Structure 1
Amino acid sequence: MNPIVIAIIAITCIISYMGLNDMRLFEKYKFNVAAINNKKEYFRLISSAFLHADFMHLFFNMLSLYFFQGVVTAFFGNIGFLIIYFGSLILGNLFSLMIYKNQPWYSAIGASGAVSGIIFASIAMAPNEISVNFLPGWLFGTLYFGYSVYMMLNPKQWDNLGHSAHLGGAFFGLVYSIVMHPQLALSNILFLGIMSLPLAYLAYQIFVNKKIR
């Protein structure tokens, strides 16, 4: 596996472990609307990705990154991987900030936005070359985003995972892939379209039904 990816996974695991054992660190670096908007703590847009709710949350995100990173580094190189990872992370959290701007209490953690961008970029390049627990990569991605949309529209009191960040991250990964490899990405438009169905439904709920805002 690429050493850059190994470094990201290792750093994320270490900081997540520290955050789970130090509530002050966890509270200082998590995504929080009030802290970002009122105190201008923009570092939280990035630092929140290195914190996770529990070991299962951490494991699922890092396992997803492990399965999909290979295609991304093969097609985009190390610089492209970093652009997609951190671009998706930042755009995902900016999307969350926009959606929840009127809910200052809203907080979230997790690398979901970044991983979502990697998944979309990977499927755009090679939808049939990845399998996750015997599921084709594009089907795993569809279920991944479907779950995120469901949890975002039906939030639980205990859930502070960054589900909305999945959506902004996915958008960045998709757009970057089309810009860099338009012919290949558009040849896989069917798989990308299927994987985008949960996101289209969420957009309808947000902008037409005004369900979240």
Structure 2
Amino acid sequence: MNIILIAIIVANVIISYKGFNDQYFFRKYEFHVGSIRAGEQTRMLSSGFLHVDMGHLLFNMLTLYFFAPVVLSYLGNFSFILVYFGSLIFGSLLTLSFHKDQYGYRAVGASGAVTGVLYSAILLQPDMMLGIFFIIPMPAYIFGIVYLLYSIYGMKSKNDNIGHTAHFGGAVGGYLITLVRNPQLIQDHTLMTVLLAIPIVILFGMAKTGKL
């Protein structure tokens, strides 16, 4: 496994585990609109390495484990870092934009960064198949759409501390950064480029019209 991918996964596990067992640490580094607007911008990055529980952490790290090697093999280490951290920041910025007047809004999770890697990988290799639960075959682009639908459910239910809005920003970040780094994809995979843009547009439309 690539050393950069290992380092990111290990960082997520260690920081999340610390947060599971240290409420002060968790509260100090989570995404919190009031604290960020008061000047604690570090939270926009640090919150991407905290998770609500082991299930949340496992879901994000498994998704990253499956899709990161595609981005690494096609774009290389530097572009992978750009996709991962660029998507994380995109996700945090969008979350802050949507919730800027909700000073008590809190969220955590690597979802923005992971969704960016997911979208990047699907753009790069749209015909790849996944084994869901290691058994059920599913086209990668279907998994990507399902992942964003899960984001809609989370935003509508509002019953957890997961940064679902960051999925939007992460998807946009991964999508745009990948096309900037490899613009030939627009010509090589035109249909997939359009298909992956559709759920992003729909999700933004739903958010803007208050249907989330």
With normalisation by structure 2, the TM-score equals: 0.93
Partner of 1:172: 173
Conserved in 2, the CA contact under 8 Å of 1:149 and 1:198? no
Conserved in 2, the CA contact under 8 Å of 1:113 and 1:167? yes
Q: After TM superposition, list the pairs within 5 Å mapping 1:188-199 onto structure 2.
A: 188-199=189-200
Deviations 1:181-205 (A, max 9, x none): 1122443232343344432222112
What is the CA–CA distance in structure 2 between the aligned matches of 1:94 and 1:132, rounded to whole Å?
A: 33
Partner of 2:13: 13
Pairwise CA distance, 1:70: 0.8
What is the CA–CA distance in structure 1 between the aligned matches of 2:87 and 2:188, rounded to whole Å?
A: 22
Deviations 1:6-58 (A, max 9, x none): 111011101101100000000000000000002x1011011001110110100
Conserved in 1, the CA contact under 8 Å of 2:79 and 2:181? no
Conserved in 2, the CA contact under 8 Å of 1:84 and 1:173? yes
Question: Are positions 1:101 and 2:104 aligned together?
Answer: no
SS in 2 for 1:9: helix
**Which residue of 155, 158, 172 maps to 2:157?**
155
Deviations 1:155-206 (A, max 9, x none): 33x3110111011111111111111211224432323433444322221123
CA gap of 1:144–1:132, structure 2 versus 1, over 3 A, is farther
Question: Are positions 1:137 and 2:113 aligned together?
Answer: no
Partner of 1:146: 149
SS in 2 for 1:94: helix
Instruction: Give 1:155's aligned amino acid.
Output: S
CA gap of 1:56–1:28, structure 2 versus 1, over 3 A, is same
What is the CA–CA distance in structure 2 between the aligned matches of 1:189 and 1:63, rounded to whole Å?
A: 28
What is the CA–CA distance in structure 2 between the aligned matches of 1:86 and 1:46, rounded to whole Å?
A: 8
Partner of 1:66: 65
CA gap of 1:49–1:132, structure 2 versus 1, over 3 A, is farther
The two structures, once aligned, show a CA RMSD in angstroms of 1.5
Q: Percent identity?
A: 44
SS in 1 for 2:157: coil
Q: Report runs of 4+ in structure 1 exceeding 6 Å deviation.
A: none
Gapped runs of 5+ residues in structure 1? none
Gapped runs of 5+ residues in structure 2? none
Conserved in 2, the CA contact under 8 Å of 1:51 and 1:110? yes
CA gap of 1:130–1:186, structure 2 versus 1, over 3 A, is farther
Conserved in 1, the CA contact under 8 Å of 2:172 and 2:200? no
**What count of residue pairs does the alignment treat as equivalent?**
208
What is the CA–CA distance in structure 1 between the aligned matches of 2:190 and 2:106, rounded to whole Å?
A: 34
Conserved in 2, the CA contact under 8 Å of 1:45 and 1:93? yes
What is the CA–CA distance in structure 1 between the aligned matches of 2:123 and 2:176, rounded to whole Å?
A: 10
What is the CA–CA distance in structure 2 between the aligned matches of 1:151 and 1:197, rounded to whole Å?
A: 20
Pairwise CA distance, 1:131: 1.3
Deviations 1:109-154 (A, max 9, x none): 00000001101111111011241412111110010011102322x1
Partner of 2:26: 26
Conserved in 2, the CA contact under 8 Å of 1:149 and 1:163? yes
